[in-house]
Structure 1
């Protein structure tokens, strides 16, 4: 007896096989942290060192290699204060960028 014959007889008699449902890998939604809007879209500042902002960009080079470029800006002159290139986006990278910016401004 072949598979097709068994399938045909089962279908004719309304018999259905009971089989285990495949597991689906679902990730739980991660909680997002949203800070309050302190600037309220006022991106031009009247004093230096009053407001600093930071941004991280992922750059791809070669055959799929990636690095993160972290930049700290002073909104007064809208020029970069400090930058850092790191392989991953971590808290340590952000803290190191802040310490580099403070060092640059104290000189």
Structure 2
């Protein structure tokens, strides 16, 4: 990596305020308990949010999926 002038990006440690939020109960409980089967539409939805850094700007991409027919 040194020969090609490459360097790894090291993430910052979580701040103490983030740790306090986690300790204060801001994490939601697991309501599905790994049961990803739905028997009718709009009964169970799951979501994922991803943070991407592009040109020194943070972009958030999210996807919402209905577990009945796996539609996005």
Q: Distance in 2 between matches of 1:58 and 1:27?
A: 21
Instruction: List structure 1 segments (4+ residues) > 3 angstroms apart after TM superposition.
Output: 26-29
Unmatched runs of 5 consecutive residues or more in structure 1 = 1-25, 81-107
Give the TM-score taking structure 2 as reference length: 0.57
Considering fraction of residues, name the structure with more helix: 1
Distance 1:72 1:36 in 2: 18
How large is the Cα RMSD of the aligned pairs?
Answer: 2.1
Q: How does 1:81-96 map to 2 (within 5 A)?
A: none
Match of 2:33 in 1: 40
Q: Which has the higher relative contact order, 1 or 2, with Cα contacts under 8 A spaced 6 or more apart? A: 2
TM-superposed deviation, 1:76: 0.9
CA apart distance, 1:31: 2.0
Quick one: distance in 2 between partners of 1:34 and 1:41? Answer: 17
Q: Deviations over 1:20-47 (max 9, x none)?
A: xxxxxx7443222222222110112121
> How many pairs were matched up?
54
Structure 1 residues 77, 65: closer, same or farther in 2, change over 3 A? same
Larger radius of gyration: 1
